């Protein structure tokens, strides 16, 4: 099973800041990496697929990069609605696996 490790676990940031979240895979997943946003009490929402492609309707302030084992999600200027938990997920190899999540908190 491919283990996905996200860092940091929690990030305290202010609205308007630029933030970068990291995700590392225990072995190469090529570019088969997705990012999700989950707000409290809601289902996850797909943000990024293929490591860098924005899902339909996702704002341009969200961007993804990386390949192989190292990936990042960048939010260029945090909006109030972006405070949530973010998960990466590999779909290169079954079982598909999620990272443990990074929680963005308001500073």
Partner 1 sequence: EVQLVESGGGLIQPGGSLRLSCAASGFTVSAHYMSWVRQAPGEGLEFLAVIYGDGRTYYTDSARGRFTISRDNSKNTVFLQMNSLRTEDTALYYCARGNDNGGSDYWGQGTRVTVSP
- Residues of this chain that interact with partner 1 (CB under 8 A) are 1, 32, 34, 36, 38, 43-46, 48-50, 53, 55-56, 87, 89, 91, 94-101
End-to-end CA gap in the chain: 36
Q: How far is the CB of 78 from partner 1 (least distance, A)?
A: 22
- Our CB check for partner 1 shows the closer of 3 and 15 to be 3
Q: Which residue has the tokens 């929680």?
A: 103
Q: Which is nearer to partner 1, 43 or 60 (CB)?
A: 43
Q: Which residues contact 32 (CB under 8 A, 6 or more apart)?
A: 50, 51, 90, 91, 92
CB distance 46 to 105 below 8 Å: no
CB of 95 to partner 1, least distance (A): 4
Give least dist CB 46 to partner 1, A. 5
The burial of 79, by beta-carbon neighbours within 10 Å (0-12 exposed, 13-18 middle, 19 or more buried), is given as exposed
Q: Which is closer to partner 1, CB of 13 or CB of 46? A: 46
């Amino acid at each position: 099973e491919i283990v996905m490790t996200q860092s940091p676990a929690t990030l305290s940031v202010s609205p308007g800041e630029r933030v970068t979240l990291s995700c590392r895979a225990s072995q190469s997943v090529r570019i088969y990496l997705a990012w999700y946003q989950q707000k409290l009490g809601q289902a996850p929402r797909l943000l990024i697929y293929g490591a860098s492609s924005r899902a339909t309707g996702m704002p341009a302030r969200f961007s993804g990069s990386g390949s192989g084992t190292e990936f990042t999600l960048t939010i260029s200027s945090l909006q109030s609605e972006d405070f949530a938990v973010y998960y990466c997920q590999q779909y290169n190899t079954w079982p598909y696996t999620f990272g443990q999540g990074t929680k963005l908190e308001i500073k």
